[in-house]
Amino acid sequence: MTDFIQTSSARSLENAAEDHFIPAEAPWSGILRKGQTIRIEDSYGQQAIDTLFYRADDFSERYSNQDTMREQGAAYVGTGTKIISNEGNVMLTMTADSCGRHDTAAGACSCESNTVRFGHGTKYLHACRDNFVLEVTKHGMSKHDIVPNINFFMNVPIKPNGEMTIVDGISSAGDYVELVAEMDVLCVISNCPQINNPCNGFDPTPIRVLIWDAPADCEV
């Protein structure tokens, strides 16, 4: 694959501090401490994983797709990307990527957008925004705290005229990204339930999230 794809050194799954199985279409959230590494795995392939990050001790500071794209000078996130907050701080660094295509412009599906794109018959289908609302309320936030997100493993080519189209994902079973926390963060995931476009291969599947502690000799 292309030279911007980089995988991490082998990690022992047995040494993971946390190992989470997230069912198809379901949300998840968890705290990631500074220095810890999170691996988000597309276990079966072609599964979009909508993700948000918030500063753990102040949720008003959260992931900013605009600042992240501007800082990188790129429309996509990948190995080496600094995940930037709305305060201009580095929240995480993406250290490994076995896939090579992750969108941060197309946003999350919602009942409203499904209706506009796919017809009124889809209005009551579950959507990522529903998942995000369900999950952030566990942490005292509301729908007003949901911002444009990262879509790990979602393939959204951008044409020279700015047009974007969601097409078949290129991720394979077991592909993953890894990010190291540069501050304590709350990670919120929607395992995308979309069945009307090819972001999930029209068949949402389970995913896996693993977290490793910082190495003992690593100062955090």
The per-residue pLDDT for range 133-165, each reduced to its tens digit, is 999 999 999 999 999 999 999 999 888 888 888
Is the pLDDT confidence value at 119 over 70? no
For residue 83, give the nearest of 53, 58, 105, 107 by alpha carbon. 53
Question: Could you tell me what percent of the chain has a pLDDT over 70?
Answer: 88
Contact (Cβ atoms closer than 8 angstroms) between residue 214 and residue 56: no
Mean pLDDT (whole number) for 45-62: 98
The per-residue pLDDT for range 175-217, each reduced to its tens digit, is 999 999 999 999 999 999 998 888 899 999 999 999 999 987 6
The per-residue pLDDT for range 57-88, each reduced to its tens digit, is 999 999 999 999 999 999 899 999 999 999 99
Is the pLDDT confidence value at 4 over 50? no
